[in-house]
Amino acid sequence: MMSSLTGALYGALIVYLGGWFVGAWTGNFSLLLFVLTIVTLAYWLAERFHFRPARQAAAANLEQQDTTRRAELAKLGIEKVDGDVQEAKHKLLMQPWWLDWTAGLFPVILIVFLLRSFLFEPFKIPSGSMVPTLTVGDLILVNKYHYGIRLPVINKKIVDNNPVQRGDVIVFRYPPEPWVDYIKRVVAIPGDEVAYIDQKLSINGQPVPTVSKGEHYDDESLSYAPQFAEKFGETEHMIRVDPKRLGGYGPFPKRFPYADNCRYAPDGVTCKVPPGHYFVMGDNRDNSMDSRFWGFVPDQNLVGRAFFVWMNFGNLGRIGAFK
């Protein structure tokens, strides 16, 4: 019975992962990892307190029966007895496959779940919206506790930590589709009035300092565009601006929470950031679907602070910390 149940569970897992892979539905890895942790924990507890003691009792009973049999034969003068129960005992003590592939995996899954939920989570950069800071194919690490400790799956903050600062690169749940993770740079925090007019960023009426750094070549679009060093406080990072793509601003979707805080014009947008929200933009300013179009990021949508490229199979030189 347990073998059939375990086979059915593995079948359901394969169907779920297969549908996710081919795009039949959107998967939720956090929820999947949580469910796997609970299921393997149940098997681990059952193994520890029921199945393993039952196997040990059966093996001990077999050994006791063999000892009794040999003693009775010895009384009859028979000293040499055929048969060795050790192999049978070993088979009785062996963990069946359905426990080996469930209870046996629990410690590994638990460690991955705890690391991913509370410490660090890996992500892959899928688009060029953060060029030149991050490129397509970068595998990055996100610090999950930098802004506070959150409960897995529901993402509710239970312990506060560092505040979000202008210039931070964050991973967050995309407000129009919270099951999708996005990565952008925070350019304005609660209470700020942010404006992006004629491809120039200003906060509370003050232009954000920028210095021209020549041109940047983008491998994805196979094009050159001016790049600038942009500075928030002491934090400096690079941005890419395409003068050929000036204009075309407007909210998408047309309405979003606190949409009345934004004023749109052909040359840009000005927004007042509401409490508990952030205004984010991609470093590839003219190739980024960000807060200019779909609104503010609520604090409860934060996943963590991105800080390190741990691998890029196409360019190993990109490994390292980034600003």
Pair type for strands 320-321 and 206-207: unpaired
What is d(CA 265, CA 249) in angstroms, rounded to the nearest whole number?
Answer: 7
Nearest to 176 by CA among 19, 17, 289: 289
CA nearest neighbour of 62 among 33, 42, 20, 90: 90
CA angle 39, 45, 46 (to 5 degrees): 90
Q: Nearest CA to 283 among 217, 230, 209, 221? A: 230
User: What are the catalytic residues?
Assistant: 129, 184
Residue in 104, 138, 84, 106 with CA at minimum distance from that of residue 38: 106
Kind of pairing, strands 262-265 and 181-188?
Answer: unpaired
* DSSP letter assigned to residue 208: P
Contact (Cβ atoms closer than 8 angstroms) between residue 201 and residue 230: yes
